Amino acid sequence: MARTRTWVSIALAGALGASLAGCSSTGGKRAEDARKAASAQGRAAVDTPRWTFAMVTHSGDGDTFWDIVQSGAKQAAVKDNINFLYSHNAEAQQQAQLVDAAVDKRVDGIIVTLAKPDAMKAAVARAEKAGIPVITVNSGSEQSKQFGALTHIGQDETIAGEAVGDELNKRGRKKALCILHEQGNVGHEQRCAGVKKTFHGTVQDLYVQGTSMPDVQSSIGAKLQADKSIDSVVTLGAPYADTAVKAKKDAGSDAEVDTFDLNAKVAAELKDGTLGFAVDQQPYLQGYEAVDLLWLYKYNADVLGGGKPVLTGPQIITKDQAAALEEYTKRGTR
């Protein structure tokens, strides 16, 4: 017993010593702290009353994209002296219940995504009946006005898809693969349909199980092995781009991988030429503007967009812009 304890303490001391001696001069927490010091710090810049805004999205658990939306919203909330609440659920019925809960709480403003518009209709109507202003973000540009929301902030998915199709034409591609990682997401279907609309070559859809990366990799790999003529793979989310690159290497295919949305990995791979291009919809802006526009409405009854959606994308990002954005992606704001 005593001997074990001695051994354990020796091992602990050794580990501690090793960790102190073996400092990394690159990356890690220290680099992150340096980045934090360079990013915006918060204190309320206005003296309006402390309103409460609730944001309810259709995100699943632990989604990079929605983390960036949230960080934008939180930054605006700090500036505008807002108490910001966030909740999310991927199931339409649950998301509607969360909006109901926000209405029950009598918040001062609601920000909601309409990925499944019909399911959200009643909940949004209930918010308006209670006199709570609603702004829609990210998805549901067609329904936003009809449901009586002030403004819609986001990217038109079809237009974004068309932009990808144009870019693929520019790059002389002939056969593209569109990777859908979420069964039943209308926005994803629109993106692939948009690519089909403008792309002169052929586009094939491939459904993968987005919740399981190995499944995504093996599905893409199998498809690329089965069809050697595919010369470009388009993923619909940043985390899947790197997986598609791995699958491509395994399959020995030389297809170009392009993606919707950004993250740190995508920015790095754009910089070193592993990826062709990314089409960004600036999620930070979606969160930031949603909170800020609600604040403007409460403070000054201002509404932006003249009844049309306020677009945050698409923005095509290639090797040239990637270097500048890499730092921001690491910070979690792009």
Partner 1 sequence: MTATAPAPSPGTKADDERLVKTSPLRKLMGRPELGSVVGAIAVFLFFAIFADSFVRAASLSTVLYASSTIGIMAVPVALLMIGGEFDLSAGVMVTSSALISSMLSYQLTANVWVGVLVSLVVTLGIGVFNGVMLTRTDPPSFIITLGTFLMLTGMNLGFTKLISRTVSTKSIADMQGFSSAKDVFASTITIGGVDFKITILWWLALVVVATWILLRTRVGNWIYAVGGGEMAARAVGVPVNKTKIGLYMGVAFGAWVSGQHLLFSFDVVQSGEGVGNELIYIIAAVIGGCLITGGYGSAVGAAVGALIFGMVSKGIVFAEWNPDWFKFFLGVMLLLATLLNHWVRKRAEVTK
User: Nearest-5° angle of CA 298, CA 302, CA 306?
Assistant: 140
Tell me how crowded residue 226 is: count the other CB atoms within 10 A of its CB: 9
User: What's the N-to-C CA distance of the chain in angstroms?
Assistant: 53
Residue 215 binds partner 1 (CB under 8 A)? no
Binding segment for partner 1 (CB under 8 A), chosen from 5-13, 181-189, 236-244, 296-304, is 181-189
Does residue 222 interact with partner 1 by CB under 8 A?
no
Q: Does 119 bind partner 1 (CB under 8 A)?
A: yes
Whether the Cβ atoms of residue 67 and residue 238 lie closer than 8 Å to each other: no
What is the C-alpha separation between 209 and 10, in angstroms, rounded? 46
If binding is defined by CB under 8 A, does position 198 make contact with partner 1?
Answer: no
How many other β-carbons are positioned within 10 Å of the β-carbon of residue 129? 10
Q: Which of 32, 104, 142, 302 binds partner 1 (CB under 8 A)?
A: 104
**128 lies in the binding site for partner 1 (CB under 8 A):** no
Instruction: Show the tokens assigned to 1.
Output: 């017993």
Calpha distance 153→189 (Å, rounded): 20
Residues between 241 and 280 that touch partner 1 (CB under 8 A): none
Task: Identify which range of 38-46, 110-118, 235-243, 284-292 contacts partner 1 by CB under 8 A.
Answer: 110-118
User: Which residue number, 100 or 215, has a Cβ lying nearer to partner 1?
Assistant: 100
Which residues between 77 and 96 bind partner 1 (CB under 8 A)?
85-88, 91-94, 96
Nearer to partner 1, 126 or 246 (CB): 126
Binding-site member from 35, 78, 101, 197 for partner 1 (CB under 8 A): 101
Specify the residue, 190 or 274, whose C-beta has the smaller distance to partner 1: 190
184 binds partner 1 (CB under 8 A): yes
In whole angstroms, give the CA distance from residue 295 to residue 272. Answer: 41
CA pair distance 224, 176, nearest whole angstrom: 11
Is residue 182 part of the contact set for partner 1 (CB under 8 A)?
yes
DSSP bridge pairs for 138:
154
**Binding of partner 1 by 98 (CB under 8 A):** yes
Q: Total residues at the site for partner 1 (CB under 8 A)?
A: 33
Residue 61 sits in the site that holds partner 1 (CB under 8 A): yes
Q: Site for partner 1 (CB under 8 A): which residue of 47, 118, 272, 320?
A: 118
Stretch that binds partner 1, among 3-11, 14-22, 23-31, 111-119 (CB under 8 A): 111-119
Residue 302 within binding range of partner 1, rule CB under 8 A: no
Binding site for partner 1 (CB under 8 A): 61-62, 85-88, 91-94, 96-98, 100-106, 116-119, 121-122, 182-186, 189, 207
